[in-house]
């Protein structure tokens, strides 16, 4: 009995010690934006009633919604050859120097909404050059023609200058997307841009932008699909980029690689370019092992799954955490903000939109009915991923600095951010945030004062039972199982 009592005492001391956490005093990277893209859903959602279009804009860009701080507008190439009409955006291009500014009313509508909401980072991105500049005369399956690089750069510049004249100021431009791939299956626009062409595209575009008075528009490249593309190719093009021509090295992470490889991507990108790395696209993740599909911390892979619950939100959270702590990216974008890949029919089974299935895809923050044209269902369905993005966008302020967090309860990962100025938030003013993701199914508590981030002012939580709930200050905060909680400090 005495021996048992002794071991219990030891155990409780051990538990108390493991619950103390700390925020590092060494600053990591500066973070500058959280967003998603406007491919290709505007082509559908533009056909919805005006009230729904307004609702979607508010959910993405408004302060009652996610308040995204980055939006990526897709400059379409007209979709020649593309089999899926939703993924065939109209093009402004008519012929060299001739443009049809009435084209792509759908995409431009949501771009204007983002600009009106003062989304601070607007990127224009390109999947394919106009067919006149590709090797096969289509918007998919070909290569960018060497002799057209100058015309391609001038076309992009003319589009950006047009929007500037309309009062829409792009902060960034991305002239190629996953350039290893010709996108020969033609399910979407795309073109190959060889590693030998990439620096030429960036350098030429820098000159045409500068000549048009668009020095403030930063160029990002090369939107590599994965570390498996980026790592062997980076040394073939980044050293040929003119100093000052590139604002960021943009990448995707469809290889779902391990931490060490992702860290190597970040350090390689920065050391070869001298600029930040940005994570600019991810979707379509599912647990690598189907037995792990309800585990938010499971190893992930590319594949079909519609996971609108906290599990899907925390799986994306896992990728964000890896991007910020391993690649040390300065920016994070999800892929398409909206998707119709629900994998079920909401009119036949209303509860299916909040239930995981393996027919749909994790490629939206908000979903809509793929049969809207025939069944007139223009409702939109929010996932818990939208609320993960709301934590990130509202509490990782532009220009804030990340600090590592260690010693958290098991299954909890955390990231701290400090701003040099006071920020207004739904909870009040704050200078620091601590975003905590509980990947476990049981609740656990933290003591906010241990963060050493200032006076605890309260926060917001997203869990299975609430999309978004704010709370005030207290000495201890319970983190529900499968939750995202942000603590704010002033
Ligand atoms: C401009 O684009 C609109 C929308 O696609 C189209 O209806 C119109 O015919 C185009 N005009 C020209 C001159 O190509």
At 489 the pLDDT is 98
Residue 361 tokens read as 């895809």
Question: Quick one: 200 and 121 in the same domain?
Answer: yes
- Please provide the average confidence, as pLDDT, over all residues in the chain: 95
Question: Quick one: 367 and 426 in the same domain?
Answer: no
Average pLDDT over residues 464-470: 98
Residue 255 tokens read as 């290889």
CA dist 180 and 229 (Å) reads 7
351, 377, 395 — which closes off a domain?
A: 395
CA dist 305 and 294 (Å) reads 11
| 5 pLDDT higher than 50 | no
395, 417, 438 — which closes off a domain?
A: 395
In DSSP terms, which residues pair with 277 in a beta bridge? 249
CA dist 146 and 143 (Å) reads 9
Average pLDDT over residues 69-76: 98
Ligand 1 centroid to Cα of residue 104, in Å, is 9
Atom of ligand 1 nearest to the CA of 100: 1
Question: Quick one: 113 and 221 in the same domain?
Answer: yes
The residue ranking higher by pLDDT, 67 or 16, is 67
CATH number, residue 409: 2.60.40.1180
Question: Quick one: 327 and 343 in the same domain?
Answer: yes
Ligand 1 centroid to Cα of residue 98, in Å, is 12
Ligand 1 centroid to Cα of residue 66, in Å, is 34
Question: Quick one: 257 and 323 in the same domain?
Answer: yes
pLDDT tens by residue, 209-260: 999 999 999 999 999 999 999 999 999 999 999 999 999 999 999 999 999 9
Atom of ligand 1 nearest to the CA of 94: 14
At residue 287 the predicted structure's pLDDT band, cuts being 50, 70 and 90, is: very high
Q: Which of 42, 100, 130 to mutate to test the pocket of ligand 1 (most atoms within 8 A of CB)?
A: 100
At 9 the pLDDT is 40
CA dist 72 and 170 (Å) reads 9
Question: Quick one: 208 and 338 in the same domain?
Answer: yes
Ligand 1 centroid to Cα of residue 219, in Å, is 29
Longest CA–CA separation in the chain, Å: 90
Q: Which helix (H) or strand (E) holds 198?
A: helix 195-211
Atom of ligand 1 nearest to the CA of 105: 4
At 7 the pLDDT is 39
Atom of ligand 1 nearest to the CA of 90: 5
At 355 the pLDDT is 98
* 265-to-166, 227, 233 alpha-carbon distances in Å: 38, 6, 11
Q: Which of 78, 90, 103 to mutate to test the pocket of ligand 1 (most atoms within 8 A of CB)?
A: 103
Which residue's CA lies nearest to atom 6 of ligand 1? 103
DSSP secondary structure string, 54-77? HHHHHHHHSTTTT--SEEEEE---
At residue 426 the predicted structure's pLDDT band, cuts being 50, 70 and 90, is: confident
Ligand 1 centroid to Cα of residue 45, in Å, is 20
CA dist 88 and 388 (Å) reads 29
pLDDT tens by residue, 375-418: 999 999 999 999 999 999 999 999 999 999 999 999 999 999 99
pTM over 0.85: yes
CA dist 426 and 320 (Å) reads 23
Question: Quick one: 194 and 333 in the same domain?
Answer: yes
| 12 pLDDT higher than 70 | no
At 19 the pLDDT is 62
Pocket lining for ligand 1, CB < 6 angstroms: 90, 94, 100, 102-103
């Amino acid at each position: 009995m005495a021996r048992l009592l002794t071991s219990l005492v030891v155990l409780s001391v051990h538990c108390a010690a493991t619950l103390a956490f700390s925020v590092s005093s060494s600053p990591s990277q500066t973070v500058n934006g959280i967003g998603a893209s406007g491919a290709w859903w505007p082509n559908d959602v533009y056909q919805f009633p005006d009230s729904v279009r307004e609702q979607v804009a508010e959910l993405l860009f408004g302060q009652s919604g996610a308040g995204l701080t980055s939006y990526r507008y897709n400059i379409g190439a007209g979709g020649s050859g593309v089999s899926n009409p939703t993924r065939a955006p109209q093009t402004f291009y008519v012929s060299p120097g001739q443009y049809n500014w009435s084209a792509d009313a759908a995409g431009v509508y949501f771009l204007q909404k983002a600009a009106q909401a003062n989304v601070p980072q607007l990127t224009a991105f390109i999947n394919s050059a106009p067919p006149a500049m590709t090797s096969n005369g289509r918007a998919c399956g070909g290569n960018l023609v060497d002799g057209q690089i100058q015309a391609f750069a001038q076309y992009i510049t003319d589009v950006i200058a047009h929007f500037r004249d309309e009062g829409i100021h792009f902060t960034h431009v991305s002239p190629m997307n996953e350039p290893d791939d010709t996108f020969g299956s033609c399910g979407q626009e795309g073109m190959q841009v060889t590693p030998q062409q990439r620096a030429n595209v960036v350098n030429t575009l820098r000159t045409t932008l500068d000549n048009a008075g668009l020095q403030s528009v930063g160029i990002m490249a090369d939107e590599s699909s994965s570390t498996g593309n980026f790592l062997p190719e980076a040394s073939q093009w980044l050293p040929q980029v003119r100093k000052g021509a590139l604002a960021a090295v943009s990448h995707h992470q469809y290889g779902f690689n391990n931490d060490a490889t992702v860290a190597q991507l970040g350090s390689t990108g920065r050391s070869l370019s001298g600029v930040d790395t940005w994570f600019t696209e991810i979707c379509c993740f599912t647990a690598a092992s189907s037995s792990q599909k309800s585990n938010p911390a499971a190893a992930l892979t590319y594949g079909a799954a519609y996971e609108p619950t906290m599990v899907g939100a925390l799986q994306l959270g896992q990728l964000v955490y890896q991007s910020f702590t391993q690649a040390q990216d300065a920016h994070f974008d999800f892929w398409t903000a909206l998707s119709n890949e629900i994998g079920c029919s909401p009119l036949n089974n209303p509860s299916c939109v909040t239930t995981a299935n393996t027919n749909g895809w994790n490629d939206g923050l908000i979903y809509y009915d793929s049969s809207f044209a025939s069944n007139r269902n223009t409702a939109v369905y929010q996932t818990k991923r939208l609320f993960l993005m709301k934590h990130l966008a509202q509490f990782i302020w532009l220009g804030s600095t990340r600090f590592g967090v260690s010693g958290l309860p098991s299954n909890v990962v955390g990231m701290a951010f400090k701003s040099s100025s006071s920020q207004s938030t739904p909870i009040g003013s704050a200078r620091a945030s601590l975003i905590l993701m509980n990947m476990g199914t049981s609740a656990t508590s933290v003591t906010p004062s241990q963060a050493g981030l200032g006076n605890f002012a309260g926060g917001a939580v997203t869990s299975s039972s609430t999309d978004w709930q704010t709370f005030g200050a207290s000495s201890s905060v319970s983190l529900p199982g499968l939750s995202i909680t942000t603590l704010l400090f002033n």
